Amino acid sequence: MPTVLRHPGTVLRDHVFAVPLDHARPDGEQVEVFAREVAATGRQDEDLPWLLFLQGGPGNGAPRPVGRADWLQVALRHYRVLLLDQRGTGRSSPANRQSLAARGTARQQAAHLAHFRADSIVRDAELIRRRLLGEDVPWSTLGQSFGGFWTLTYLSLAPEGIREAFVTGGLPGLRTGPEDAYRAAYPRVAAKNAAHYARYPQDVAAARRIAAHLAEHEVRLPDGSPLTVERFQYLGMLLGEGSGSHRLHYLLEDAWIGGAAGPELSDGFLEGVRAQVSLAANPLFAALHEPIWAQRSVSAGGTRWAAQRVRAEFPEFDAGRALSADEPVLFTGEMIYPWMFDLDPALVPLREAALLLAERGDWPDLYDTRRLARNEVPVYAAVYHDDMYVDRDDSLATAHAVAGVRTWVTDEWEHDGLRVSGGAVLERLVAMARGEV
């Protein structure tokens, strides 16, 4: 019997499913996938349509809701919601430095991780759908960010499983390779830096002072790992969120404290940085981030640390150059760099496996462009005009290439609009699906 929890306004049931590690070998090794069912109190026994939530990432577990927070307040008026911990995350069979150590060599670890992309996650979802709903009952899906990527993989592999799809900030370029993705991303990140420094001009000097200190001194975070200039720049991940610029400012303004030998970076600041730059909670985000763009028909040469290679085309992100030229130090964004596997304690044991994944060139294609051109499943997508993480132009091109997609382009919200809008983003998409707007 599933575990049942009762929260204010909701009833939750826990489910665990055994699925093949490799769906091409259904009788081979099995892994567990955890999912949490959420229904409104008083409606838990009704025959409600299902909504599968597809989390962003890769490598993030599903939300752990308390009551009807955020978008759930809208979803639960219409659906029974399933929050899926994608394989390797949350309470599903883990894939991290601890579990992967039991896999043996780096090559064996990389071979294992190759089964944790969107195509495998979609096949997991289809097995779960058939077990929960029955063979012929489709469900609706809500894909946030990377969840939108695997929505399109779902529509490519098993469109019969979806009744309608909602996407928020996650329509990828169907033929966009990793170099193209980052070549488009760096200018967006530079624009977010310019907007941040226009809002908080004092942060130009604050960031330069910290970067200069890190360039000249060995500084360690509370977990013992080094804080380098490039790692400091990774705080720019915050700039793609609605409140991220403000959070970055508050972090920078509390950076210094008077120590025995003079000013030094405070423990509070260093802990705040650690919380942002550590990938201990989601190591798959680092290991599998570039492979979300990898398709043999697009990038047969492998990803080969595309973000690092393309960065050389944008010298404005060179902190040493900025310090020498008395220019602002720019923060980076949603980029994964090979040095992360040298510095982050959660990633260091995965370094060799990550190198092998970066060199792999035979990744299966994730999108069937011909099938998507004939798509019959209605798709309602929020495209954020100034999205730092997912390219707006790619999203709109995909919307035109996939039949049945209707978009809502908005500059009212950033990439995290689904979570922070109080339900307004999902409310709009549901209204579109119901023909109300």
Active site residues: 145, 362, 415
Residue corresponding to tokens 């001009």: 201
Crossing angle of helices 244-253 and 267-277, rounded to 10° = 150
Largest CA distance in the chain: 71
| Residue 27 CB coordination number (10 Å) | 6
Q: Is the dihedral angle over the CA atoms 290, 291, 297, 301 positive or is it negative?
A: positive
Q: In 72-160, which ranges are continuous DSSP H helix?
A: 72-78, 97-100, 106-113, 118-133, 146-157
Q: How far apart are CA 57 and CA 45, in angstroms?
A: 32
Asked if residue 211 lies in contact with residue 232, where contact means CB atoms within 8 angstroms, the answer is: yes
Residues 6+ apart with CB under 8 A from 263: 256, 257
Q: How far apart are CA 213 and CA 111, in angstroms?
A: 41
* Helix, strand, coil percent content, the chain, rounded in steps of 5: 45, 15, 40
Structural tokens at position 359: 């060199």
